[in-house]
Structure 1
Amino acid sequence: MSLNVIDLIKGQLGPALISQASSQFGESESGISKAIGGLLPAVVGGLANNANNPGVLDAITNASSSGLLGNLLGGTSNNSVVTGLLSSIFGDKVGGLVNSIATFAGISNNTSSSLLNLVTGATVGTLGKYAADNNLDKSGIAGLLNDQKGIVSTLLPAGLSLASLNIGDWAKGYAFDNDKIKVSSHEDPKVEVTRSTTPTGTHIDRNNNNDGGGSIWKWLLPLLLLLAAGYFLWKQCNKKETTTTTTISDSANTGSESAVATVPSDSSAVTATKVDEDIDLNGVALKGYKGGLEDRMITFLKSGGYKNAADDSALKDTWYDFDHVNFKLGSSSELEAGSQGQLDNLVAILKAFPDAKIKIGGYTDKTGNEPANVKLSQARADFIKSALEKAGVGAQVLGAEGYGSKFATVDASASDAERAVDRKMSIRFAK
C-alpha cells in the first residue's frame, strides 16, 4: 500500500500546535482544526498535481535544512519557499482557496491565509525530512507525490469537495486550470475536453470530427454525483449504528482485548466535549478528563475493585484508553506534544497504589501492512513500558503487547478521522 503522506504530516499538526494557533490567531480550536483538515489534502493535492515541477522538487529536497518544522507558527508567514510554492501550485486560485476554507471553518480570511502558509510549511518540511531520511532523490519524491493523486480527493473532510475549492480533481488527472481540463487517455494522450459556454445540446468539436456527440462530461458527471448522493443516503438510512471517534476509557469488552464506543446513527446523538479538570488522587490534583483514564482508574482502585478481583480473568476485559498519549505518525519513539503529562499522571497513580499491576496494549487501524502494524504497535507499547520503568514503577508493569489491527473495527477505506478510533494506546489492570 502506498504511503499516505497526509498521515505522515499530521504528526506536525497535533493538538498542541492547534491550541497555540488558536491563541495566536484568536480563533476557536475547532475552527483551526477544521481549517487544517481541509487545507492539508488541498496542499498535498496541489503538490501531487505538480509532482514533476522542478521548482516543487527543489523546494522539497532543500526543506530538510530550512528549519521550517522548527517554527511553523512564526516562520511560515513570510517564508519565500512557502509563498513561492503556493504561487507555483495554485497560481491565481490562492485567494479562492483561502476564502473557501475560511467560510468552511468559520474563521477569518487572514487566519485562513496564515494557516495555508503553516500547512504548506509543515507539508514541505515533512516531505523533505522523509526524503532525506529515506534517501529519496527527486525522482523518488515525484513518485511519492504521484502516488497521492488517487487518494487526495477522498481525504477532504465532510462539507468540502474539490469542486467547492475550485482546484481540480487529482484522482482523475485533472489540472488546476479549470478553463481547459486535460484528461488522461491511454488511447489518445492528446485528447482535450474544453468547457463550453454554448447552450445545452450544442456539440463540441473533438479531434476535428464535427459529427461527434456532445461532451459526455456534461451529463455524466452530474449523473455520477446524483448516484453517489443516493448511495450515501441509502447507506445512512440502513446503518443501524456507527462507530464514533471517541473511545470509551473503561469499556467492558466481550471476547476481545479492546472495545470502542458505538452510538445509534440517530442525528440527534451528540459527542460530549472533553474538558480538562482536576482529578483527585488522595488529595493530589491531577489534570484529566472526567470519565477519562485517570478518573476511571482512580475510581476503580478506590472502590476496591482491583483488590477484590480474584485473578486476572476478572480484569482482562476492561481497558483504559489514553486520552492524551499520542505518537507521531509512523514513530514508536517520538510522542506528540502534551503526551508526557498523562504518562506522569499514570506514574502518580501507580505510586499511590503500589499493589496495583498493569498491562499495556498498542493498537493500529487497518491500513498498511499487518506485520508492520504489529511491529509498530509492539514498539509503542514497549516504549511506554520503558518510560514507566524509568519513572520507578516498572515492577508494576507485567507486560506490553502490540496487537496491530487485530481488534480494529473501522474499514481501511474509511476516512482518516473515522479510523482514528482504532489507533490508540491502552492499559488494563492485571494480576
Structure 2
Amino acid sequence: MSLNVIDLIKGQLGPNLVSQAASQLGESESGISKAIGGLLPVVVGGLANNHNNPAVLDAVSDASSSGVLGNLLGSSSNNSFISNLLSTIFGDKLNGLISSIATYAGISNNSSSSLLNLVTAATLGSVGKYAADNNLDKSGISNLLNDQKSVVSGLLPAGLSLASLNMGDWDARYKFDNDGDAIQMPSEEEPKVQVTRSTAPNGTFPERNNDSGGSIWKWLLPLLLLIAAGYFIWKQCEKKETTITTTVTDSGTVVTDTVNSVSSADTTAAPAVAKVDENIDLNGTTLKGYKGGMEDMMITFLKSGSYKNAANDAALKDTWYDFDHVNFKSGKGNELEAGSEGQLQNLVAILKAYPEAKIKIGGYTDKTGNESLNLKISKERANYIKDWLGKQGVGAQVLEAEGYGSQFAKVDAKASDEERKTDRKMSVRFAK
C-alpha cells in the first residue's frame, strides 16, 4: 500500500492554523476547515499528475530548506512562486477550482485563492520534509507523487467531485487508477459514423433473425444484472467491519473490546475523507475537535458522571483515548509537529473544567527499529506531554506518563508505513 502523503500534511493544518486563517481572512472556522478538506486531495492529485514535471520536483526538493512549514500563513500569501506553480499544474481550470471551492465552503473567492496557496505550501513543505528525512532524490520524489494516484481519488469530501470543481476535462485526461498503467489520453478526434442506405428489392428490409442476437440477450442481460447485484452486495458487506479497540492495562495485559470503541484513530486501510473539525461544547465553552474524537468522548464521559462514580483506578484503566492531532517529528521525543499544540490546549481546557479529574499519558510506537530506542522515544514523548501540561497549570492532574514502545503494536514491521501508523500514537486515560 502506498504512503498517503495527505496524512503527512494534516498535522500542518490543525485547529490553531484554521483559527488563525479564519481571523486573517475574515471567514468562519467551519468554512476554512471545509475548504481545506476539499483542497487537500485536489492539490495532491494535481502534483501526482505532474510527478515528472521539473518545476514540481524542484519545488518539492527546495521546500525542505525554505522554512515554509514554519510560517505557512506568511509564506503562502502573495507568493508568486506558488501561484505560478498552481498555474502550471491546473492551467485554465485554476479559476474554476477557486470559485467552486468558495461556493462549496461558503467563503469568498479571495479566501479560497489564499487557502489554495496555503494548502499547496503545506503540501510542498510536508512532502519536501519527508523526502529529506528519507533521502529521496528527484526520482524518488517523482515515484512518491505518482503513487498518490492510487489513494487520492476517493478523498474528495461528500458534495465535491472533479466535475463540480469545473475540472471535468482534467478528470478525463488524468484518470486516477490503481493499476499503475499508463494514463490513457482521450482521442483528439471523434470517430466518424458511416450511414448506409438499404438497397433491398421492392423497398423491403431483410427479416431480422430474432433467434440469434435477441435470444442471447434474453439470458445474458439477466445474468449480467445478477452478477452486478452480487458484486454490490459483496462490497457492502466488506465495508461492515467490526470495530476493535485494543487497550493497555497497567498490568501489561491487552483488553479487546469489540462493542464500545473509544479509539478516535482511523484504523481502516482504505482512504477516508479528510476529517473536519467541528464545535465541541465544554460546559458552554466551544472547543474545536472531531465529533467522536478524543475531546468529544472525554467530555461525554465526564458529563455522564462515570468518572465521579468510578470506585477506583481499576474501573478506569482499560479505556484509552487516542490523540487525533498530536504528532511528534520522526525519531524525536521532544519536538512536536506544527499544529499539534491545539489539541493539547483542548486537553488543558477539559482538565481545568473538571479539576477533580486525573489522567495518565501513554506513548506507543510501531514494530520497526530498535526496541530499546522505541521504549526510550515513547517514554520521552509521554513525559514531554506531561511536562507541557504541567507548564499550563494542570500538572497536578497528570499522575503518570508511560512509554510502551512497540509492546502492544499489532501491525507487522514489514507492512507499509500507512498500515503501521495505527501503532504510532499518543493516548490518554482517566485515572484515580
* Cα pair 1:69 1:122 within 8 Å, conserved: yes
Taking structure 1 as reference, are residues 201 and 393 closer, same or farther at Cα in structure 2, changes over 3 Å only? farther
Shift of 1:132: 2.3
Shift of 1:123: 0.9
Q: CA deviation at 1:379?
A: 4.5
Partner of 2:272: none
Give 1:338's match in structure 2, choosing from 336, 342, 345: 342
Q: Displacement of 1:133 after TM fit?
A: 2.5
| 161 and 231 in structure 1: CA distance in 2 versus 1, 3 angstrom threshold | farther
Provide closer, same or farther for how the CA distance between residues 33 and 200 of structure 1 changes in structure 2, counting only shifts above 3 A: farther
Deviates more, 1:48-57 or 1:289-298: 289-298
Residue number in structure 2 paired with 1:134:
134
Q: Distance in 1 between matches of 2:184 and 2:321?
A: 57
The 5 Å alignment of 1:47-126 reads 47-126=47-126
- Kindly provide the amino acid, as one letter, of the partner of residue 54 in structure 1: P
- Counting only pairs closer than 5 Å after superposition, residues 211-290 of structure 1 correspond to structure 2 as 231=232, 235=236, 255-256=255-256, 259-260=260-261, 273-277=279-283
The structure 2 residue matched to 1:427, chosen from 423, 426, 429, is: 429
Matching residue of 1:171: none
Aligned to 1:315: 316
Q: Would the alpha carbon gap of residues 298 and 90 (structure 1) be closer, same or farther in structure 2, given more than 3 Å must change?
A: same
Per the TM alignment, residue 118 of structure 1 is displaced from its structure 2 partner at its CA by 0.8
What is the aligned partner in structure 2 of residue 208 from structure 1? none
Indicate the structure whose relative CO is greater, using CA pairs within 8 Å and at least 6 residues apart: 2
5 Å matches for 1:176-187?
A: 176=170
Task: Supply the AA of the counterpart residue of 2:81.
Answer: V
Counterpart of 1:194? 187
- Quote the Cα distance in structure 2 between the aligned partners of 1:272 and 1:183: 32
Q: For each residue in 1:379-410, what CA deviation from the matched residue of structure 2 results, as whole angstroms up to 9, or x when unmatched?
A: 456513344257465993174446798699xx
Unaligned runs of 5+ in 2: 196-223, 245-253, 264-276, 286-293
Which of 393, 396, 399 is the aligned partner of 2:399? 396
Q: 2:46 matched to which residue of 1?
A: 46
Total equivalences in the alignment: 356
- Which amino acid in structure 2 is aligned with residue 51 of structure 1? H
Task: Provide the C-alpha distance between the structure 2 equivalents of 1:272 and 1:191, rounded to a whole number of angstroms.
Answer: 40
Give, in angstroms, the shift of residue 31 of structure 1: 1.6
Deviation at 1:315, TM superposition (A): 3.0
Greater Rg by CA? 2
Alpha-carbon offset, residue 423 of structure 1? 6.4
Q: What is the alpha-carbon distance in structure 2 between the residues aligned to residue 117 and residue 378 of structure 1?
A: 39
Deviates most, 64-73 or 114-123: 64-73
1:103 alignment partner AA = T
Bigger shift: 332-341 or 2-11? 332-341
Change (3 A) 1:196 1:28: farther
375-384 vs 8-17, which moves further? 375-384
CA distance in 2, matches of 1:293, 1:66: 40
Give the deviation of 1:179 after TM superposition.
7.2
Distance 1:363 1:104 in 2: 38
Identity score, percent? 47
> Aligned partners of 2:304, 2:398: CA distance in 1, in Å?
19
> Does structure 2 retain, via aligned residues, the 8 Å contact 1:357–1:397?
no
Cα distance in 2 for partners of 1:73, 1:136 equals 27
Please tell me whether the aligned partners of residues 316 and 430 of structure 2 are also in contact (alpha carbons under 8 angstroms).
yes
Deviations, residues 93-140 of structure 1 (Å, cap 9, x unaligned) = 101111221222222222111111111111112222222232222112
List gaps (5 residues or longer) in structure 1: 169-174, 203-222, 244-253, 263-270, 280-287
The residue type equivalent to 1:396 in the other structure is: L
Normalising by structure 1, we get a TM-score of: 0.63
Question: Residue deviations 1:50-73, cap 9 Å, x none?
Answer: 111111111111122323222222
Distance 2:336 2:92 in 1: 39
Change (3 A) 1:81 1:395: closer
Q: 2:270: which partner in 1? A: none
Decide whether the 8 Å contact of 2:45 with 2:148 is kept in 1.
yes
- Between the aligned partners of 2:178 and 2:402, the Cα distance in structure 1 is 54
